[in-house]
Amino acid sequence: MFMKKRKILVTVLILLTIFILWILEPVSMNPYGKIEIPQAQSEINFNGKAPGLTMRMDFEKKANELLNDHMNSGHFLGVSVGVSKLDFGSYVASAGFMDKWERKRANNDMLTRITSITKPMTAIAMMQLYERGLIDLDVPIQMYLKDFPKKSNGDITIRQLLKHTSGMPHYDSGWDAMSFTHYPTLKDAVGYFEGRDLIFDPGTKFQYSSYGYTLLGAILEEVTQMDYAVYMKRHIWDVAGMTKTGVEIGTMEYENKTKGYLKIGSRFVKSPNTDLSIIQSAGGVQSTARGLLKFGEAVLGHRLIKSSTLDMMVNATDQLAPAIGDDPYGFGWAVYDDPKYGRIIQHGGAQPGTSTFFALFFDHQVISVVLSNSFGTRQDAFALTMVLPIWRWKINEESKSVVNNFLESIKLYI
């Protein structure tokens, strides 16, 4: 009996040791300790319309310093960032580690889960169908998904799904947000939650819902008779020039893809490998910082939808989201009207293995993105996204005042 208990104890200790080593991989880098942190490596590609060489060098230097400050403060394990201004050019940079165990540094084309930045992409795809007359935003969704059960609260519309006012629930809990089941189609994914009750009458309140955007993806597939990934590649990603963007499929291995981590206190531990197929059209896409800059440029350049349709998407005049303390929400975009810097349309998100933020400074035609490979770093991703575009306020002035304005703008966000 004693020997049996001893064997059980030894087995438990071995399993516990393996688990600890797995999540800490390796212990010496939690936190960084004496390990040298890979600093910012950047590329700047401005064209002839941009400010002069001195200004470009000042911008790159200040942007790199800002990124390095975040790394040296332990805000990120690995991160890739980008900033661009329509018709001027772009800046991309990376710092930290994409693989902690092998001490492999992050790079500027590091493939990362983009989380809910997927939602504005899906919303734009739906508005493409709207422009073609293939969908009506205000009819019951059973017009397109005949098998979706009617709800006693009332009919759900595409407009309500786009604006998170349908009453569709979000995740029940943190565990509900971590799926390890692979769903072959979006219709199969809808089957997981279609029996749940609405949490309010459609159109009366705001409740952010990733499952609502899974429904939108299923509608897109039904209307177009195309797989979501195929449609998005053909009509969104290829048009924008996003060559390294696609749907993450299960546990498939991808070239130059970062490993994912969780930030717990000051430590970064290995993230579980969740399956994103249940929220494919809500948060199942992977891309690069460079790719998301191209997406932003395609949006602002009206290469995906008409300018009038984009105006419709970013109209957030209803008060349903602010009523619960959230930013006004249009079709797939959180919309913020800054009294000094104008309209900002944005989206961010977090999943096991990543935190992201993406912003279009609408009135200044500037795009900014931060992709972190660690859950628990979303606020830092937001802060960095907001202050990286140090040229955005005085882009036409050939003077160092741009940098001075950048230093002033930091005070707004930090």
Predicted confidence band at 211 (pLDDT cuts at 50, 70, 90)?
very high
- Who contacts 303 (Cβ-Cβ below 8 Å, separation ≥6)? 239, 240
Domain at 296, CATH number: 3.40.710.10
Q: Is residue 23 part of a domain?
A: no
Please give the pLDDT value at position 406: 35
Alpha carbon distance 263, 74 (integer Å): 10
**Pairing of β 78-85 and β 285-287:** unpaired
398 or 169: whose pLDDT is higher? Answer: 169
Q: Is residue 12 part of a domain?
A: no
Q: Is residue 32 part of a domain?
A: no
Q: What are the tokens at 291?
A: 């790719």
Residue 74 has pLDDT above 80, yes or no: yes
The candidate with the shortest Cα–Cα distance to 106, out of 289, 376, 240, 357, is: 289
Please give the pLDDT value at position 180: 87
Q: Where are any strands of DSSP class E within 265-394?
A: 267-270, 285-287, 334-338, 342-351, 354-361, 366-372, 374-375
Output the DSSP codes for 240-288. HT-TT-EE--TT---TTBPP-EEEETTEEEEPP----GGGHHHH-EEE-
Q: Is residue 229 part of a domain?
A: yes
**Residues 190-202: pLDDT tens digits?**
999 999 999 999 9
Check: CB of residue 318 under 8 Å from CB of residue 238.
no
Q: Is residue 35 part of a domain?
A: no
Q: Is residue 47 part of a domain?
A: no
Check: CB of residue 285 under 8 Å from CB of residue 247.
yes
Residue 387 has pLDDT above 90, yes or no: no
Alpha carbon distance 46, 36 (integer Å): 31
Please give the pLDDT value at position 314: 94
Residue 23 has pLDDT above 70, yes or no: no
Residue with tokens 């739906």: 126
CA atoms within 13 A on the CB side of 318: 19
Alpha carbon distance 83, 243 (integer Å): 18
Q: What pairs with residue 90 in β-bridges?
A: 45, 84
Please give the pLDDT value at position 210: 96
Q: Please give the single-letter amino acid code of residue 263.
A: K
Please give the pLDDT value at position 403: 37
Percent of the chain with pLDDT over 90: 67
Residue 341 has pLDDT above 80, yes or no: no
- Residue range 65-70: average pLDDT? 93
Predicted confidence band at 391 (pLDDT cuts at 50, 70, 90)?
very low
**Structural domain of 56:** 52-414
Average pLDDT in the chain: 86
Please give the pLDDT value at position 414: 25
Number of domains forming the structure of the chain: 1
Enclosing H/E stretch for 112: strand 112-113
The phi, psi pair for 24, rounded to 5°, reads -95, -15
Q: Is residue 42 part of a domain?
A: no
The pTM of this model reads 0.88
Q: Is residue 25 part of a domain?
A: no
SS3 359: strand
